[in-house]
Amino acid sequence: LRFLTSDTLEINIKLNMGASCCTEDQRPVLRIHLKRGEDIPAEDANGESDAYVIFNYGDLEHNRFEIKKSKAITTKGGNCTWNETIEFLFGMLFVQLNHSSCTQAFFFLRKIVVFFIFRNLKKKGGLESIQDVEIKLMDHDVLKNDDYSGKSYIFHGRDSRNPKNTATVHKKKVNKNEEAKYFLPLEWNVEQSYTIAIKNEEGLEAGRLHLTIVLVNHQAPIVTEEEKGLLHHEE
């Protein structure tokens, strides 16, 4: 917990993801490797785009998430390569509170902690986490606001709409009209490949992103290459 300004408080809550967890270097990580994009829409007058990607990870339903973004890459013929890795602490809650009163911040924090205990993020070593990923494709501009190209979602693995999920599910209200096509892995330390279709405000495809995701947990059993082959999604 630290103060950013006189009236802004930053709170980081890091949740243990297992009985013996964890040193700082052993905490579970959501690792996204953003590889490349194709058919990125031309947002600039020269027919290209300075494309970058914003990743929002957390409890999107209650507007509690952490934000990270990639570098901006100029597209060529609608294609670009980032080859960039983005990491989040898996199951971490990031909140900024704009309160002039520390007392208000304390009671708000207490409500957050009670909420997360109720949602039981520690169940089954943390793979029951109900946090999702929102992906926004943007175009960087210098003399005006950045252009928004479109977005997509990768929902948590225990989502009731995930056909691979056979465990007890959590019902979600967030983005209830959004097609649930992509889901986070259901296993630790297994890299999965995704081709994410970005949709614009009209619901039309606005490019595709190629990326991989792995839930890194140094305390979980290491998956063999044979097991990886069985679980790996085709890109």
The CATH number of the domain holding residue 201 is 2.60.40.150
What is the predicted pLDDT for the residue at 5?
Answer: 42
- 6-20, 48-62, 94-108: which is most confident: 48-62
- 166 burial level (CB within 10 Å; 0-12, 13-18, 19+): exposed
Statement: the pTM of the whole predicted model exceeds 0.75:
no
153 lies in some domain: yes
Q: How sure is the predictor about 164, in pLDDT bands with cuts at 50, 70 and 90?
A: confident
42 lies in some domain: yes
4 lies in some domain: no
pLDDT over threshold 70, residue 141: yes
pLDDT over threshold 60, residue 181: yes
pLDDT over threshold 90, residue 150: yes
Look over the chain and give the mean of its residue pLDDT values, rounded to a whole number.
Answer: 76
CA dist 3 → 8, 96, 101, 137 (Å): 6, 10, 12, 31
Q: Could you tell me if 57 and 65 are in contact, meaning their C-beta atoms sit under 8 angstroms apart? A: yes
99 lies in some domain: no
Q: How sure is the predictor about 178, in pLDDT bands with cuts at 50, 70 and 90?
A: low
Across the range 192-212, mean pLDDT stands at 96
Q: Could you report the per-residue pLDDT of 77-106, keeping only the tens digit for each?
A: 999 999 999 999 987 654 444 444 455 555
Domain that residue 76 falls in: 28-93+106-116+127-231
The number of domains in the chain is 1
Q: Which residues does 22 contact at the CB level (< 8 Å), separation at least 6?
A: 16, 28, 219
Tokens of 56: 């929002």
pLDDT over threshold 90, residue 46: no
23 lies in some domain: no
1 lies in some domain: no
Concatenated DSSP letters of 112-180: HHHHHHHHTTTGGGGTT---EEEEEEEE--SSSPPEEEEEEEEB-TTBTT-TT--S--B---TTTTS--
13 lies in some domain: no
5 lies in some domain: no
Q: How sure is the predictor about 124, in pLDDT bands with cuts at 50, 70 and 90?
A: very low
